[in-house]
Amino acid sequence: MPLNYLGLQPQIQQYAQNANQSQAHFRQVLENARELFKTCASQPYDEIRKRCQGSGKRCALPLGEAFDQSYPPPAEHQPCMVLAADGSQIISSPHDAIPISLINTSLICMNTGSSDAPQISITSEILSEDRGGIEFNLLSEDLISLRRDVAELRILNDWTAPNDLPVAALRDGPLELYHEPRQGDQFEREFKNYIDGLAALAARDFTLAGYIDRTRAGLLGQMLAIYFEERSDGLAELRDTTLLAGILPAGQRSAIFALQSSSSDNYPEALRIHFFYLNVSTNDNDYIVRVEIPAWVAEDTDKVNRLHALLLAQCRIMGGRPYPYLLHRAHETAVVHFDEKAQLQDALAQELQRQGLDVPQPSNKLAAKGLQKRTRM
Amino acid sequence: MANDPQVNVQVGRLLRANTRACVAGCLPSQNFPPFGSLVSIDLGQEISAYGLVSDIHIDDDGLVRQLVTTPNISETVIQDNRVNRNVPVELSVLFVGHRSAGVISHRLPPRPPLSLDRVRACGEGDVCAFTSAGSLGYLRFILEAQDLPAADLLAAHLLQAGRAQRDHGDEQWFARAIDKVITQLRDDYVRLMPVLEALADVQRELGI
Amino acid sequence: MSEPLHQNESIGIVTSGGLKENLHVRLNGTPQQVQEGSFIVIDSQDWKFYGIATDLQLQSIDPRYALEPSRARLPEELAGLLDRQTLYTNLVVLPALMLERGPEPDSADYSAWRRAIDSGDKEEPRPMPVKSIPAHHADAFLAGAGDVAEIFGKPEDESNFVIGYTREQDHPVCVNLDKLIQRSSGIFGATGSGKSFLTRMLLAGLIDHNRASVLVYDMHNEYGLDDTASDTGENVRGLRSGFGASKVQVVGLGGSATIRGSAPDFNLVLGYSDILPEDVELLTRELNLKETTATVLDALVQSLGKDKWFKAFKAMKRGATETTDGDKKVPAPDSVAFWANQNGVNVMAAEGLHDKLRRLFNKPYIVENPPADSIQALVEALKKGKHIVLSFGDYESDLDYLLVSNLLTRRIRAEWEQMTNEFRGKNGSEPRPLVIVVEEAHKLLNREMAAQTTFSTIAREMRKYYVTLLVIDQRPSQIYDEVMSQLGTRVCGWLGDEDDIHAVLSGLAGREALRGMLSRLQAKEEVLLLGWGVPMPILVHSRRYDELFWQDIKTSKKAGFDQAKVIKNLYGD
């Protein structure tokens, strides 16, 4: 029996009891937050920005748009090229016979003005440390993730435009790297690569966006908490999507905010991360997502409008569970399955053998896990 | 199916097989062979297995199930799913005979094909050669097959073969085939009559 | 399959059956290619089986195929293909004969088989009654001319007489006249079934064949002289007209008899002395005689003599009396009562008999002193090879017929018996066979009479004394079954009455199968040949009795039988 259900039972009851108690408090906080949000919107935005910047905390910074308003999508949506990039990785494990790491990046490109099937390209790359030596090839998960982010930008940059249509490029997840630069040359080098990637996309005038489907961010609550310091009880923990639910009608976006974070200063001005919220639902069941955009997009109304319309169109394709279709396809194309990992390991083992090298065995723990279940006669 | 009906064209590759049947996969975007048509699979050592496309199976997945709920699916999304996505059309093939060292036999192939073996649609010449060999004994595989729409499979096959035979000058082949079917099923009135009704449509279509 | 069958084309294959339950042949084509009564040949390895089609049955491999017309659900061509495999006709064949035909002539075994026969180690194969059956899937054929000839003989053989033709293919079917006269035979058929024409034709054949003398009791004056057909009004040639008086003589009953206005070759007149008591006793029913008749007759013969009783009894007076001295009335000496009293016979019985015999006493053809012994003349003519048609002229009553035919037959048989005994005692030549043709045979051969008449004796004796019967009747059920069972050859036209059909088929194998066939014969066209005299039962289109027939009779034996010519004459091109 995998779980001790008997022992869990009192804990389950306690969990529901706690949730019930916090619910009442939460409603109070939300009511307060919405009132403050409205009040705040009527305050001078410079003052708000000033206070927030002064705090140094991770929060939203209002720009020119009235942030208690919502913004409908443009009436017309011109054809464009939409790119979606996603990556997946194999993280090396010390238990593997050959502990390799791999990044698999996919790009899918759709011309919204055409009925042709989208084009797909995939780039697969085995990662290795400079030192070489297969069995020591253990890269940290963070570094691999960072390299994957870089690779995603690279595959977007490598794409050659077949026409003059404007290009929108989507990524799954935030544009802001939360794999912050840590110590070590590799991190710094990869971060620089990332910034360079962004700059290159900016140079190609792509409408770049990061799509965060289920954001837990409380950037607006934090902004309110900073501004209304004396009435900040619970505001910092309030999710933006909760705050905006009921304020942001289906299909409309919020005002655009700049993102203030600890890493903001590491991004050149033109590449600074901005964001808006978008209700991608088509009915009363609000589904609010966060869209991160670099400054060069945030400052260009056409690009913002194109992005707004495009994201809604992409989400509509997926019907009742709105999510950008191309992002799903990019993910589907990029994802590496377990058996594919096994095949890759087999191919590596064969090549090692062919070159006269010893093929290491997997760990006993991994071998035990791999024991087959019951087999058929 | 091949544009040139005389030529055998690769339509897919083998996914799985047993001694009686196999399943081949092909891209949805391909012109895969129609239901009931004759295909061949080269088994090596001068042996080819012959089979009829007895089922065409198009799998769904989560994404497709989600997409069908949307009111308007753009053509590009449809094409993406057909061309790019890794969901092959599965062709079930019922073995009906084999060719060994140039001799066609209406018995099961000596061994099933192996994974990823090429599956080819038979051209008219091959269809005529196979269906003219022997005395139509292979029809028993269709009529005895369980869990298959035997009447429609037979009708679809006889349409293809009847047309090929007619175009190659044998207008009596279709009548002989029906005679054989009646012989095989005449003790089973309930099964035979619907089969013949299906074949009546084929006869009208063939105009013979 | 609607196109005509070729002679050697199989009509189907044997699928089941046996000796007891007949053979079943699954037909290849439609039922109409074969008819009831068809002569069927089945080839099974080295044997040929011959039989007659007795039934046709519609069959299907599943009743549902038969219940629902396939054309209602399927196009014509598909329906045809389906019907061909699921619906079929079962031909029921009554097997009769089998013949070993040996291995194929071009096979290695054939020469050995032939050598064995030629050297006498093995008998020459001949048709024999079926003792086995053909194998499964043996091919069945409609009999070809060769098959018919193999079984029923070749038309050109002298003893063979073409009585008709096979139903579908008009192959001539013969009866062997030599065999026919070896036993008594019969021709049956309901009124209007063509019995008279058939009889004329067969008699013409017998007379032409001339191996036996023929005596015809022509009750209705049909056979001797030309007649007019009752249905068509056409002239029908009589036997005497056909063969001439040198061969056939017509005898008229009575001294001044004319037949249809023509004078007969001679007249038959009976003398009183010819009438014997047994001749009277045979008339018991006809004259409604009492049980005392035999006693009275016996007393008459005893008191008056065998030759004279009839004359004396006729002369006695009925009721004559005379008055005695005492004025008492007593029977007169010439009265019946007087004779009765004198001879101890019951007066009333004697007077009753006298009353009833008065019908005989008054017959003009019975006279005291006939000008010649015409009976003897008739017998002599028969002995010399003449053929006699005894026409009853105006004496067409049953009484005349019974009295004369019995009386004559008794005399004839006695004569032939004597001749036979002399021949067997090496004192004489072999008697010429005689066929007595009896019309309305049931009047003479019914259950009551059969024990007494000479006819039944003749039937039972077969050809012991060189005399056989040819009985002609429309009610065979009335004929005593012991007599019926003795009839060797039976030629039967249409019969409607179940009892008659039963009677005709008595003593034959396959009665049940033949029964329906008899009731469905085409009147005047078809007859069924049955019995010992024919190798197997067969249904034939009877030959037409017309001028062409007579031409053929006159020419066939001399010029050889030309089958094609006859067919052409009969049926045209």
CATH of residue C453? 3.40.50.300
Is the CB of residue A337 less than 8 Å away from at least one CB of chain B? Answer: no
Judgement on whether residues C120 and C255 belong to the same structural domain of the protein: no
What separation in angstroms does the CA of C66 have from each of B179, B188, C29, C61, C375? 18, 14, 16, 9, 69
Domain final residue pick, C97, C126, C142: C142
Q: Exposure of C559 by Cβ count < 10 A (0-12 exposed, 13-18 middle, 19+ buried)? A: exposed
DSSP conformation class of A267: S
Whole-angstrom Cα distance, residue A146 to residue A138? Answer: 15
Single-letter amino acid, residue A215: T
CB contact under 8 A, B199 and C86: no
Judgement on whether residues C40 and C105 belong to the same structural domain of the protein: yes
A179 confidence band (pLDDT: 50, 70, 90):
low
- Average pLDDT over chain A, rounded to whole? 88
pLDDT for C6: 43
Whole-angstrom Cα distance, residue A15 to residue C189? Answer: 114
Structure tokens at B138: 């292979």
Mean pLDDT for B143-147 is: 89
Judgement on whether residues C182 and C116 belong to the same structural domain of the protein: no
pLDDT for B7: 64
Whole-angstrom Cα distance, residue A243 to residue B77? Answer: 34
Whole-angstrom Cα distance, residue C441 to residue C479? Answer: 7
| CA-only gyration radius of chain A, Å | 24
CB contact under 8 A, A115 and B76: yes
Domain final residue pick, B100, B122, B144: B122
Q: Is residue A373 part of a domain?
A: no
Q: What ipTM score was computed for the predicted complex, to two decimals?
A: 0.87
* Residue whose entry in the numeric block shows the structure tokens 């799998």: B59
CB contact under 8 A, B182 and C77: no
Q: Which of the listed ranges A353-362, B162-171, C507-516 does the model predict with the highest average pLDDT? A: B162-171
CB contact under 8 A, B76 and A319: no
Is the CB of residue B143 less than 8 Å away from at least one CB of chain C? Answer: no
Bridge-based pairing state of the strands B103-105 and B118-121: unpaired
Whole-angstrom Cα distance, residue C294 to residue C290? Answer: 9
Whole-angstrom Cα distance, residue C133 to residue C17? Answer: 8
Q: Is residue C193 part of a domain?
A: yes
Q: Is residue B2 part of a domain?
A: no
* Residue whose entry in the numeric block shows the structure tokens 């691999």: A144
At least 3 CB pairs under 8 A between chains B and C? yes
CB contact under 8 A, B84 and A319: no
Structure tokens at C508: 């034959």
Residue B83: closest C-alpha in chain A: A117
Of residues C74, C85, C86, nearest to B200 (C-beta): C74
Is the CB of residue A111 less than 8 Å away from at least one CB of chain B? Answer: yes
Judgement on whether residues B130 and B70 belong to the same structural domain of the protein: no
Domain final residue pick, B74, B105, B122: B122
C176: nearest Cα among C205, C200, C213, C215 = C205
Judgement on whether residues B144 and B93 belong to the same structural domain of the protein: no
Of residues C61, C73, C77, nearest to B197 (C-beta): C73
Q: Which CATH number covers residue A157? A: 3.30.2170
Domain final residue pick, C342, C366, C390: C366
SS3 C81: helix
Angle made by CA atoms A73, A78, A81, in degrees to the nearest 5: 110
Judgement on whether residues B44 and B129 belong to the same structural domain of the protein: no
Angle made by CA atoms B42, B48, B52, in degrees to the nearest 5: 100
Structure tokens at A367: 């071998």
Structure tokens at C548: 């062409």
pLDDT for A182: 63
pLDDT for B92: 95
Q: What is the pLDDT along chain C (573 residues), one digit of tens a residue?
A: 334 444 578 999 999 999 888 999 999 988 998 988 889 999 998 899 999 998 999 999 999 999 989 999 999 999 999 999 999 999 999 999 999 988 888 888 888 888 888 888 888 888 899 999 999 999 999 998 888 998 999 988 888 999 999 987 889 999 999 888 888 999 999 888 888 889 999 999 999 988 899 999 988 888 888 877 777 777 888 888 888 888 999 999 887 777 777 888 888 898 888 888 888 888 888 888 888 888 999 999 998 888 889 998 998 988 888 887 778 888 888 888 999 898 888 988 999 999 998 888 888 899 888 888 888 888 999 998 999 999 988 888 888 888 898 889 988 988 999 999 999 888 888 888 999 999 888 888 888 777 778 888 888 776 788 899 999 999 999 998 888 888 889 999 988 889 999 999 887 877 877 888 888 888 888 999 988 888 899 999 988 888 888 888 877 653 344 444 444 444 444
Is the CB of residue B105 less than 8 Å away from at least one CB of chain C? Answer: no
Q: Subunits with at least 3 CB pairs below 8 A relative to chain B?
A: A, C
Min Cα distance A300 → chain B (Å) is: 28
Q: Subunits with at least 3 CB pairs below 8 A relative to chain C?
A: B
Number of H helices, E strands in chain C: 23, 25
Residue B74: closest C-alpha in chain A: A115
Contact C339, C301 (CB under 8 A): no
Judgement on whether residues B137 and B107 belong to the same structural domain of the protein: no
Q: How many domains does chain C have?
A: 3
pLDDT in tens, A254-283: 999 999 998 888 899 999 999 999 999 988
Q: Is residue A218 part of a domain?
A: yes
* Residue whose entry in the numeric block shows the structure tokens 């804990």: A11
Cβ-based neighbours of C523, under 8 Å, separated by 6 or more: C189, C190, C192, C193, C194, C493, C494
pLDDT for C2: 39
More confident residue, A38 or B86: A38
Q: Is residue B98 part of a domain?
A: yes
Q: Is residue C566 part of a domain?
A: no
What separation in angstroms does the CA of B117 have from each of B78, B99, C300? 29, 16, 123
Of residues B29, B76, B85, nearest to A114 (C-beta): B76
What separation in angstroms does the CA of C131 have from each of A310, C19, C47, C52, C135? 99, 8, 12, 16, 13
Which of B29, B64, B65, B66 is the best substitution to test chain A (most A C-beta atoms within 10 A)?
B66
Q: Is residue B130 part of a domain?
A: yes
Range of the structural domain that residue A215 is part of:
81-334
Q: Exposure of B74 by Cβ count < 10 A (0-12 exposed, 13-18 middle, 19+ buried)? A: middle
What separation in angstroms does the CA of C561 have from each of A183, A326, C558? 133, 105, 8
Residue B176: closest C-alpha in chain C: C81
Q: Which residues of B touch A84 (CB under 8 A)?
A: none
Min Cα distance A292 → chain B (Å) is: 25
Of residues B29, B66, B76, nearest to A118 (C-beta): B76
More confident residue, B43 or C123: B43
At least 3 CB pairs under 8 A between chains A and B? yes
C436: nearest Cα among C405, C394, C478, C391 = C405
Whole-angstrom Cα distance, residue B1 to residue A322? Answer: 38
Q: Which residues of B touch A332 (CB under 8 A)?
A: 63, 85
Which of A80, A329, A331, A333 is the best substitution to test chain B (most B C-beta atoms within 10 A)?
A329
SS3 B136: coil
Judgement on whether residues C429 and C396 belong to the same structural domain of the protein: yes
Domain final residue pick, C306, C335, C366: C366
Whole-angstrom Cα distance, residue A176 to residue A2? Answer: 39
Judgement on whether residues C187 and C82 belong to the same structural domain of the protein: no
Report how many Cβ contacts below 8 Å link chain B to chain C: 37
Q: How many domains does chain A have?
A: 1
Judgement on whether residues C279 and C205 belong to the same structural domain of the protein: no
Q: Is residue A326 part of a domain?
A: yes
A374 confidence band (pLDDT: 50, 70, 90):
low
C567: nearest Cα among C202, C180, C173 = C173
Judgement on whether residues C377 and C361 belong to the same structural domain of the protein: no
A290: nearest Cα among A313, A302, A303, A307 = A307
Q: Which residues of B touch A333 (CB under 8 A)?
A: 84
Q: Which residues of B touch A115 (CB under 8 A)?
A: 74-76, 79
Of residues B186, B189, B200, nearest to C78 (C-beta): B200
Is the CB of residue A283 less than 8 Å away from at least one CB of chain B? Answer: no
pLDDT for C326: 76
Judgement on whether residues C472 and C490 belong to the same structural domain of the protein: yes
Q: Is residue C349 part of a domain?
A: yes
CB contact under 8 A, C74 and B187: no
pLDDT for A135: 40
Domain final residue pick, B88, B122, B156: B122
Min Cα distance B22 → chain A (Å) is: 21
Min Cα distance A288 → chain B (Å) is: 20
Q: Is residue A272 part of a domain?
A: yes
Structure tokens at C330: 């007593």
Judgement on whether residues C303 and C438 belong to the same structural domain of the protein: no
pLDDT for C168: 78
B121: nearest Cα among B59, B201, B30, B206 = B30
Judgement on whether residues B20 and B97 belong to the same structural domain of the protein: yes
CB contact under 8 A, A115 and B74: yes
Judgement on whether residues B74 and B140 belong to the same structural domain of the protein: no
Judgement on whether residues C27 and C68 belong to the same structural domain of the protein: yes
Q: Is residue B3 part of a domain?
A: no
CB < 8 Å & 24+ apart, contacts of B43-47: B43/B98, B43/B109, B43/B110, B43/B111, B43/B113, B43/B117, B46/B100, B46/B101, B46/B102, B47/B98, B47/B99, B47/B100, B47/B101, B47/B109, B47/B110
Q: Using beta carbons and an 8 Å cutoff, which residues of C are at the interface with B?
A: 61-62, 64-65, 73-75, 77-78, 81-82, 85-86
Min Cα distance A122 → chain B (Å) is: 12
Whole-angstrom Cα distance, residue C426 to residue C474? Answer: 42
Judgement on whether residues C384 and C239 belong to the same structural domain of the protein: yes
Range of the structural domain that residue B100 is part of:
8-122
Whole-angstrom Cα distance, residue A332 to residue B86? Answer: 10
Min Cα distance B208 → chain A (Å) is: 43
Of residues B186, B189, B200, nearest to C85 (C-beta): B186
More confident residue, C306 or B180: B180
Of residues B178, B189, B203, nearest to C65 (C-beta): B189
Residue B172: closest C-alpha in chain C: C77
Cβ-based neighbours of A121, under 8 Å, separated by 6 or more: A106, A107, A155, A159
Bridge-based pairing state of the strands C366-367 and C270-271: parallel
Q: How many domains does chain B have?
A: 2
Judgement on whether residues B19 and B103 belong to the same structural domain of the protein: yes
Q: Is residue A6 part of a domain?
A: no
Which of B192, B195, B205 is the best substitution to test chain C (most C C-beta atoms within 10 A)?
B192
Q: Is residue A321 part of a domain?
A: yes
Whole-angstrom Cα distance, residue C463 to residue C467? Answer: 6
Judgement on whether residues C527 and C481 belong to the same structural domain of the protein: yes
Structure tokens at C346: 């019951």
Dihedral angle computed from the Cα positions of residues C130, C133, C138 and C144, in that order, rounded to the nearest 10 degrees: 10
Structure tokens at A47: 């003052």
Bridge partners of A106? A86, A122
A138 confidence band (pLDDT: 50, 70, 90):
low
pLDDT in tens, B128-138: 999 999 999 99
Q: How far apart are the first and last CA of chain A?
A: 26
Mean pLDDT for B142-166 is: 93
What separation in angstroms does the CA of B50 have from each of A45, B96, B107, B136? 78, 6, 10, 14
b or e along B150-171 (b: 16 or more beta carbons within 10 Å of the residue's beta carbon)?
bbbbbbbbbbbbbbbbbeeeee
Residue C75: closest C-alpha in chain B: B200
Whole-angstrom Cα distance, residue A292 to residue A283? Answer: 24
Judgement on whether residues B109 and B144 belong to the same structural domain of the protein: no
B62 confidence band (pLDDT: 50, 70, 90):
confident
Range of the structural domain that residue C43 is part of:
12-142
Is the CB of residue A66 less than 8 Å away from at least one CB of chain B? Answer: no
At least 3 CB pairs under 8 A between chains C and A? no
